[in-house]
Structure 1
């Protein structure tokens, strides 16, 4: 039987992860294409992409609590099918005088489909034997895809047509949809065997898990806000198309490593320490990206920026799967990602238009402060739960329920 721990099941889930998080790879080209070729303002471009991300957020919020009650294979395959259709239709629109309302509509439709499908993929990952390792492997695959995508797609945009960006995204989602139909893994009942029906119905998501969700949302907000304008700030600072593309290719190469490295270091690093270092690193790199007038610091910081979030999120995903025994929080991973992602491009566009690129660096620092406070609260609640569990004959699970 195909399960989340079988080779075929892992392959399908990893493919779904890559297709569903394509915005993490495509954002700079996506925003750049809307500004350069569709003649959108930075604010309009950011808002358009935000519509896609908001659709994904909404879909995930609706389906994640129903993960165990909906037909998983049908929902995952149908979601990616809707996403593929939406992006194909965007790619069919003319560059000149394309109706913006139609572009926005297709973005929203695509987001709904992707959010639905990705929720089921991440929910299935959370039911695997080692969610940390599987999530890290999925991010490693996303890094391989990013390297190919950022190496080839800019050339396709310049040599063929800017609409190739959306057609390539559509093709990736179509492949994911077909794979969901063929081999979406069977997910067993998510109830731990030690819990009776009564106790299982009383399980609450512990406070520490909610603060982990907050950290993920803050980091994703920083990533979407900053990464959306990595390509534009490089061009506007005079680094040239070749220089900016080289930085993006380096970014894709660097992204090969954080997922696999996080999986290997699962037992060697504390998720709390990683949870503090990740947001702090984001803030430092953002300041360099938007304030450096020299190419080398810009290129190095840009190439490392996404890797910082990937490495940190693998640890937080594993910790969240461990803390939330019901599995609901893990299934809502797309929602946490998309809360930050859907705000980031629009917020970033408004800041650039009103203050300039340097404002993005300072905004990233403020968001980082919130993330670090949240991870410190995670540590506080975990320590308190451990003390409570050791002081009573109940298990940790029972202390969470009570």
Structure 2
């Protein structure tokens, strides 16, 4: 039986996290391809991405409360397999209705697989450290994906993007079948946790804050490539920015793991949405390449770094793993709204409107994080466990 503390178990969780969080890496290429290669307007392209993310929210919300009752390996394997099939289907059609159905199915399947992945990490012996590790793996994946995929799409056409997604999901399905682990602190038989205690109230403030940051992340990231293209920065320059973004993403999760006991999680969470919103303002309003490139290169890193600290703090507040099995829901509830909201704002008011929206949403996320307990408070539930 594979454990989360074993090398195969950690490797399986890394692969599952990379596949499940593909939107965090791929949204600029994804939405850009739908606009540039499929001829969709920003609102339509945003809607397709929203359908994927909304499907993940539905699946994660349904699965998280019964996380302790399901077969984690079976859900992960089946979820990634269905997602692979859905994306492969999408690669063979240009009809909007078919693409919409494929995005929704892939989102639900991916959300289910990612829920059991994050729930398993949350119930490991060192959730903050392990989440930092899978986050670092996502950074490596981002470098490869963002360096290779835009040239492939340019050379072979839009459908190759969905073929790449299908391949990523298929690899995750195989690895999950062979090595998906059982948590180090696995629950006993299902009936022993038939009536789990309610989650601490503070957890909901953390969930709301992360959802707000997820909304800003996806709203901005979806149009990061397009705003550069429409400002005339050129494919080579924008691809270079995306690769730089991927390289930068190698470090925030590992840095967050190293700083776990040195930086108060509550302070990190309060700074995260403020910095994120300011970067959006720069990205969406800069007419020069240099400020755009600098802000875009570190944009995703802010979310990764902040979310790693949020994951560790929420794992302390809720030891059952149910809250963090809902990580896809908390991230993607906001993220699901982001592409369609961003597309609507861009279509109606231009790219600058995304900066204004980011400031307003960031203020709401900050208000939520301010309601979290002081750093010492999360230890109390551990003592009660």
Task: Report the TM-score, using the length of structure 1 for normalisation.
Answer: 0.91
Does 2:328 align with 1:311?
no
Is the alpha carbon distance of 1:384 and 1:77 closer, same or farther for their aligned partners in structure 2, counting shifts above 3 Å? closer
Number of equivalenced pairs? 383
CA distance in 1 between counterparts of 2:144 and 2:378 reads 45
Shift of 1:188: 6.0
What does residue 263 of structure 1 align with?
A: 257
Is the alpha carbon distance of 1:117 and 1:293 closer, same or farther for their aligned partners in structure 2, counting shifts above 3 Å? same
CA distance in 2 between counterparts of 1:385 and 1:175 reads 37
Is the alpha carbon distance of 1:346 and 1:138 closer, same or farther for their aligned partners in structure 2, counting shifts above 3 Å? same
CA distance in 1 between counterparts of 2:187 and 2:92 reads 46
Does 2:155 align with 1:181?
no
CA distance in 2 between counterparts of 1:317 and 1:218 reads 15
Shift of 1:234: 0.5
CA distance in 1 between counterparts of 2:117 and 2:238 reads 33
| 3-state SS, counterpart of residue 26 of structure 1 | helix
What does residue 370 of structure 1 align with?
A: 364
Shift of 1:395: 8.2
Shift of 1:397: 3.0
What does residue 122 of structure 1 align with?
A: 118
Contact 2:206 2:369 in 1 (8 A): yes
What does residue 92 of structure 1 align with?
A: 92
Shift of 1:171: 0.3
CA distance in 2 between counterparts of 1:179 and 1:142 reads 16
What does residue 78 of structure 1 align with?
A: 78
> Of residues 200, 203, 224 in structure 1, which corresponds to 2:197?
203
CA distance in 2 between counterparts of 1:56 and 1:185 reads 22
What does residue 322 of structure 1 align with?
A: 316
Structure 1 gaps, min length 5:
none
Q: Deviations over 1:326-370 (max 9, x none)?
A: 221011111111101110000000000111100000100001101
Shift of 1:136: 0.7
Q: Deviations over 1:175-194 (max 9, x none)?
A: 000011111112366559xx
1:191-230 matched pairs, under 5 angstroms: 201=195, 203-230=197-224
Shift of 1:203: 2.0
Shift of 1:204: 2.0
Contact 1:190 1:327 in 2 (8 A): no
Contact 1:68 1:189 in 2 (8 A): no
| 3-state SS, counterpart of residue 370 of structure 2 | helix
Structure 2 gaps, min length 5:
none
CA distance in 2 between counterparts of 1:332 and 1:66 reads 11
What does residue 384 of structure 2 align with?
A: 397
1:105-144 matched pairs, under 5 angstroms: 105-144=101-140
Does 2:58 align with 1:64?
no
CA RMSD of aligned residues (A): 1.9
CA distance in 1 between counterparts of 2:181 and 2:28 reads 33
Contact 1:255 1:306 in 2 (8 A): yes
Shift of 1:108: 0.5
| 3-state SS, counterpart of residue 11 of structure 2 | helix
What does residue 21 of structure 2 align with?
A: 21
Contact 1:385 1:396 in 2 (8 A): no
Contact 2:64 2:322 in 1 (8 A): yes
Larger Rg belongs to: 1
Q: Deviations over 1:362-394 (max 9, x none)?
A: 1000011011111111136x77888xx7xxxx9
CA distance in 1 between counterparts of 2:382 and 2:223 reads 48
Q: Deviations over 1:121-168 (max 9, x none)?
A: 111101111100111111111011101111111111111222111111
Q: Which shows bigger deviation, 306-315 or 4-13? A: 4-13
| 3-state SS, counterpart of residue 187 of structure 1 | coil
What does residue 49 of structure 1 align with?
A: 49
Does 2:350 align with 1:360?
no
CA distance in 1 between counterparts of 2:178 and 2:196 reads 36
What does residue 38 of structure 2 align with?
A: 38
CA distance in 1 between counterparts of 2:278 and 2:102 reads 36
CA distance in 2 between counterparts of 1:201 and 1:62 reads 16
CA distance in 1 between counterparts of 2:63 and 2:33 reads 32
Shift of 1:18: 0.3
Shift of 1:173: 0.5
Q: Which shows bigger deviation, 270-279 or 67-76? A: 67-76
Is the alpha carbon distance of 1:395 and 1:214 closer, same or farther for their aligned partners in structure 2, counting shifts above 3 Å? closer
